[in-house]
Structure 1
Amino acid sequence: MDVSATVLIIEDSPVVQHLLRATLTPLGLDLLFADDGESGLELALAHAPSLITLDIGLPGIDGWDVLSKLRSDPVTAGIDVIVVTAHAQESMREAAADRGAEGFVTKPFRPAELRTVAAALLARSPAACAVNS
């Protein structure tokens, strides 16, 4: 496709934002960044990204609440979400899936793993471009 996919990164850590940018930029994606849950929800509604990466430990509205609000709004309900969190417990992975997240990657993440998960989700997104992994 001629249109590039847009990924919204909702992450409060500038260091992790930088790592996510370095990891996803080689896929030819347009990236948007939000430092907290509230601005993440606003950007999701305004831009309807193809994919969202979502930290759980956000200031203000936490990632669980963001995910719940994304899933309950018809505009954002169909956007794939990858939870990217430092909480590696299996219960967190299960909670993310139960709440509607399509992917789960733990910090510190391996760039290849995140690219693989993102590319797989984008490949099934009708609004996304073809992504080479």
Structure 2
Amino acid sequence: MAKTVLIAEDEPFIVESLIFLLTKAGYDVASCGEGNAALRAIVERKPDLLILDVMLPGINGFDLLRRLRDTPGLSRLPVMALTAKGQEADKLRMLELGADDFVTKPFSNKELMMRIEQLIGRRTSAQAASVTPRND
């Protein structure tokens, strides 16, 4: 079963590029260009990874991440912040709020895909470990 990635990004060119890359790699991909729509899509689709732009219209990325981390059932969703806001203060704020990774635009497609695969791989490993009985 294909892993699902939700892209919360309002720049159409970046969304199209990410959809192309992720689909080519075998992921099921959905996108939203606005924070409120992204929150609804997260609840409905339960993606394996959220790629989150900081400067979204509606609920911005900071507030959306804060809501996710405060919501049971959504708090453990892996989140990769993807933004043009590359100042250290913005990176630190996203990481403090619970982002799992932070990539600054413009980005390398190869690096981005490696980071995505690592985040999804960690989540898959953690889920398997939590349901696999241990024989200690």
Aligned partner of residue 117 in structure 1, secondary structure:
helix
1:91 to partner: Cα distance: 1.9
Which of 38, 45, 48 pairs up with 1:47? 45
- Structure 1 residue ranges, 4+ long, deviating more than 6 angstroms after superposition: none
Equivalent residue number for residue 118 of structure 2: 120
- What is the CA–CA distance in structure 2 between the aligned matches of 1:34 and 1:86, rounded to whole Å? 18
Aligned residues: 126
- What is the CA–CA distance in structure 2 between the aligned matches of 1:35 and 1:13, rounded to whole Å? 7
| Amino acid corresponding to residue 84 of structure 2 in structure 1 | A
Which of 77, 80, 84 pairs up with 1:79? 77
- Give the % identical residues: 36
1:4 to partner: Cα distance: 0.9
Q: Indicate the larger mover: 20-29 or 99-108.
A: 20-29
Please list, as runs of the form range in 1=range in 2, the aligned pairs for 1:24-103 lying within 5 A after superposition.
24-103=22-101
Aligned-residue CA RMSD (Å): 1.5
1:22 to partner: Cα distance: 2.2
Q: Which runs of 5+ in 1 are unaligned?
A: 128-133
Preserved contact between residue 48 and residue 75 of structure 1 (Cα < 8 Å) = no
Which of 11, 31, 49 pairs up with 1:13? 11
1:16 to partner: Cα distance: 1.1
Deviations 1:8-43, CA, capped at 9 Å, x for gaps: 000111111011112222221000111100000000
- What is the CA–CA distance in structure 2 between the aligned matches of 1:22 and 1:93, rounded to whole Å? 26
**Greater helix share, 1 or 2?**
2
Structure with larger Rg: 2
Structure with more contact order per residue of length (Cα contacts < 8 Å, sep ≥ 6):
1
- What is the CA–CA distance in structure 1 between the aligned matches of 2:9 and 2:33, rounded to whole Å? 5
- What is the CA–CA distance in structure 2 between the aligned matches of 1:115 and 1:56, rounded to whole Å? 19
Alignment TM-score, normalising by the size of structure 1: 0.89
Aligned partner of residue 66 in structure 2, secondary structure:
helix
- What is the CA–CA distance in structure 2 between the aligned matches of 1:65 and 1:95, rounded to whole Å? 11
